[in-house]
Structure 1
Amino acid sequence: MIDVTDHGGVAVLRLNHGAVNALDLELLSALPGALSAVAGAPAVVLTGAGRCFSAGVDLKRIVEGGAPYVAEFLPALSTAVLALFDHPRPVVAAVNGHALAGGCVLAAACDLRLMSAGTIGLTELAAGVPFPTVPLEIMRHATGPAVSDLVLTAHTLDPGAARAAGLVHDVVSPDDLLPTAVRRAEHLAAAPAPVYALSKEQLHRPTHDRITRTRPLDDPRVLELWSSPTTAAILRNFLDMLSSRGK
């Protein structure tokens, strides 16, 4: 589900979960543990297996599981994204293919984002679901004013456009992606570990303050909308549309 390899001391975590590394309860529950297991590594690289970094939330599981599944899934999503965002050592995203919706959020939770192929963006509104507080605030931290356009239009960007928008830091060829990500991670890890961790904590503090302030208000409304029969019908139609495009 998450393959872990050592590259000269840098821990490479590779999402390896189905054809497109879709985010479900099991994958999200595994991510904090995988990060804890490599806590001693000087840096971490997050990438995907196959042709995708992650195509986002497994919407079929959302529809099939209904409200009980959603009630477990949404907190697991926020917990996983926060574990990545708050990891004290450098974390580099090596975006090797499509990074959509929740996949885009995972990349945004990393300190540095490199991309080689595919598209990246926030497609939640196209699917008819709102953002939980944690993913939204982490996107705000990563992209600043660009977050409004990303959220409200649901546009996806190719690597060059993503770099221009500040969503990724550099575009790298597919063959060079992982070696470059490891090298950049090593460079970030050259700073003393306590200094890097404190600097990261200081940079993230405004995001945590917003999460603490708004989560009690927003997340119950998000849960209600994700769990509603109306949303389930919208998601079924969205999945049908995606299926017809793939034929």
Structure 2
Amino acid sequence: MGGELIPKPRWIVVVGLATLLAGAGAWLAWGNGEAYQFVLRLYEDQALLRETLHRWGILAPLIFIVIQALQVVVSPIPGDVTGFLGGFMFGQRLGFLYSTIGLTSGSLLAFWVGRKLGAPFVRRVMNRAAWQRMRFIVEAGGAILCFIIFLLPAVPKDIACYLFGMSPMTFWAFAIISTLGRMPGTWVLSAQGAKTAEGQYFELFVLSAVVVAVTLPLYYYRHRIVSWVRRRGQVETAPKRATGRGLRK
């Protein structure tokens, strides 16, 4: 990567996202302690978050998108609650759209941070067990593996964003694949929130039952699925590595 010129469109995306999120984070953390505590309360209190979004009026979609992006960058913040709330507040379609924009923005920023700051930084923000369990992403970084990780439930996607930034995967490939992988889960949360807001409890029950029926086996076998994709990627890349070594000789 040394001396490599980064395409201008990518810089526009990254600089825009970094400026927006870093500015918001810096203001909350250092400029106003009360505001920082208030944002933490928003993540913990769903009713307060809903009421606050109502008060923000026309700015509510933008604020919600920033909140979704921050919950990717700041991994301990849970995303399921905010995804559900997006559908509850804005309806199924708009909630899905705003959540997708926010999640994609946060994922790209985390990917960029992982690429620029590398292992020393990423290992500091991850616990040792998570690093040992997921560091294979750094060497693999395949498209299928990326899609599976972002599709499966209960896989730490926020951490994966940083690790894929350290992998051979390109910026735009990650942007497309991770977004597509997140979409089914994002749509489900938005639909559940919207149906709750509309009082369509029977449809909510049916949707939730279908989701449980589909995701429960995926959740139970998630480690086996990821391991299978990982082994497959290693088998496919082994001949290429051997060929590369042969050519160098």
**TM-score interval, normalised by the smaller of the two chains:** 0.3 to 0.5
State which structure, 1 or 2, has the greater radius of gyration over its C-alpha atoms.
Answer: 2
TM-score with structure 2 setting the length: 0.32
TM-score with structure 1 setting the length: 0.32
Higher helix share: 2
Higher strand share: 1
